Structure 1
Amino acid sequence: MTVSPSFRLARQLALGIPALLLGGAYISEYGFGLHPCEMCWWQRWPHFAAIALALLSFRLPRRELWVALAAVAILISGAIGGFHAGVEYGWWDGLTGCATIVPQDGVSALDSIMNAPMIRCDEAPWSLLGISLAGWNFLVSTAAALAILILLSRSTTHAQA
């Protein structure tokens, strides 16, 4: 069975965009010390799901469905990122307090918790052009999800013609 160029690009985006965004998140965390708050983690989970769903499209029937579901997962991450960016910019209150990073350095759990840095969800630790990481996730994820869905609609339209 042949795969349309629109579907191929949609699947590549559904697999590549979340992988790149997660890669960037982990590089910023482990390479630059920008530890994630709780709401940052909320944005990562849909990207993990999107990668899994996009991979399913290589093996399971109804491959367009799996890519569409990946796009929905990417869009959910973008929506969470938009909400988180609004919390960082002070547009509205968040749903959570702060998350801590508990070091695994062999000390007691209580000492680790008491000495761990507080990571605030309402403060952007980094920005580019005035846009926080959560804001960039919103912009990139939302645009990518919409592009994937448009490409999928083109691939099914061409398949029916």
Structure 2
Amino acid sequence: MLELLTPRRLVGLAAFGSAAVLVGALIFQAIGYAPCELCIEQRWPHLFAALLGAAMLLFRLPMGLSLLGALAALTTSVLGFYHSGVERHIFAGPDACTSNPVGGMSAQDLLAQIQAAPLVRCDEISWEIFGITMANLNAVGSLVFAGIWVWAFLRGRATA
């Protein structure tokens, strides 16, 4: 069974996974779950991985590029773990999309902060099921995708 998982099929699997995450995110957005700044940042590495995988399959590019796919998947996984921590208030998120303390602010500064506030905050969970958020799913799923990219690289070296 494992012999069916050729390096190219593994690349396709990892790239399809990233593409599926993007489509899922866009579906959630279309049904009313607006993304925060960190959500958007997590999408870019998935887009890169999906496009890289498609290019590798279409143009039969070398398997060494699989390491770039792994790096993209690891990047979005790290962002997902960071976002998960921000959602759970384990650590502070970026000022642009989290709540800021108001102590010691002038009325003018407070009004400016309110007017600049994002529509969707990174430190609030907008969707979860069984205590698992979209950021949690992205963090773990992308780690799996990174493993698949590395597996493709290793299988490609073994068959070269």
TM-score (norm. length: structure 1): 0.77
Shift, 1:39, TM fit: 0.5
Looking at structure 1, the residues matched to 56 and 49 of structure 2 have their Cα atoms a distance apart, in angstroms, of: 11
Aligned residues: 140
Helix, strand or coil at the partner of 2:90: coil
Q: Specify every segment of 5 or more residues in structure 2 that has no aligned partner in the other structure, as ranges.
A: 99-114
Looking at structure 2, the residues matched to 117 and 95 of structure 1 have their Cα atoms a distance apart, in angstroms, of: 11
Looking at structure 1, the residues matched to 80 and 72 of structure 2 have their Cα atoms a distance apart, in angstroms, of: 12
CA gap 1:150/1:58 in 2 versus in 1, 3 angstroms: closer
Partner of residue 66, structure 1:
65
CA contact (8 A) 1:14 1:67 kept: no
Partner of residue 109, structure 1:
none
Q: Percent identity?
A: 32
Q: Specify every segment of 5 or more residues in structure 1 that has no aligned partner in the other structure, as ranges.
A: 100-113
Q: Deviations over 1:78-130 (max 9, x none)?
A: 1101100110011100123329xxxxxxxxxxxxxx7x972000011011221
Looking at structure 2, the residues matched to 9 and 97 of structure 1 have their Cα atoms a distance apart, in angstroms, of: 40
Alignment of 1:9-24 (within 5 A): 9-24=9-24
Alignment of 1:1-161 (within 5 A): 5-31=5-31, 33-60=32-59, 62-98=61-97, 118-157=119-158, 159=159
Looking at structure 2, the residues matched to 25 and 8 of structure 1 have their Cα atoms a distance apart, in angstroms, of: 26
Shift, 1:139, TM fit: 0.7
TM-score (norm. length: structure 2): 0.78
CA gap 1:61/1:28 in 2 versus in 1, 3 angstroms: closer
Letter of the 1:90 partner, please give it: H
Helix, strand or coil at the partner of 1:118: coil
Helix, strand or coil at the partner of 1:49: helix
Q: Deviations over 1:20-65 (max 9, x none)?
A: 100110010102x110000000000111111121122135565212
Aligned CA-pair RMSD: 2.2
CA contact (8 A) 1:56 1:63 kept: no
